[in-house]
Amino acid sequence: MARLHFHYGVMSSSKSASLLINAHNLKNNGIKVEIIKPAFDKRFSASQIVSRIGLSGDAMAMPNLMEYQPKEDTDFVLIDEVQFFAPNDIDKLVHIADMQGKTVMCYGLMVDSNEEMFPASKRLIEVGAKLHRMESTCQINGCQKLATHHLRFDPNGAVIRAGDQFALGDSNYKSVCRQHYNEMYRGIKQKVK
């Protein structure tokens, strides 16, 4: 069984909820779990992961993973918002999985709203993490296609094409399909058959 996993999807694809459900089920089976989140993610709580559907659970908030050492009896390490960590943090997770025999399950975004891979997500692919895509549908009214991209909007509803990609929250984002991303971000109308 793979020891390093990357559960990725767009915003609102239930990544945090899935992490919390997995942690709950593992703990109910007597398996020791540690949950980590980036320290700067204080949207709902400084020391909890909170999903948009109301699930929550305690987590260790860490600025990076370089000094992190799971407890000896820990079996699973679950990381939320993994895209906000650095590539060398991913290398630390590889060490924990390969040298310490812990199962590491990462949850996060693959790409930012400019269609660029987050460095940590890229590193997870480079080191051979087992990939698990979490699916959601496009948030454009009436569209039922797979959401694969994010659009970021300013307060006036205009698409933002530059700037900091380490922004928290989803009030100014929409998860969209590739077609709607290309139409709205690039102005490319696509012919649908």
Looking at the 3D structure of the chain, how many domains does it have? 1
The structure's pTM equals: 0.91
Give tens-digit pLDDT for 148-191: 999 998 888 889 887 765 555 566 889 999 999 999 998 887 66
Place of tokens 């709580």: 45
What is the per-residue pLDDT across 64-98, written as a single tens digit (0 to 9) for each? Answer: 999 999 999 999 999 999 999 999 999 999 999 99
Q: What is the mean pLDDT of residues 20-43?
A: 93
Bridge partners of residue 49, in order along the sequence:
57
The answer as to whether 11 is a domain residue is: yes
Contact 33, 78 (CB under 8 A): yes
Q: Is residue 127 part of a domain?
A: yes
How far apart (Å, rounded) are the C-alpha atoms in residues 183 and 47? Answer: 39
CATH of the domain at 13: 3.40.50.300
Spatial CB neighbours of 124, under 8 Å, sequence gap ≥ 6: 4, 6, 82, 90, 106
Would residue 142 count as lying in a domain? no
pLDDT surpassing 90 at residue 42 = no
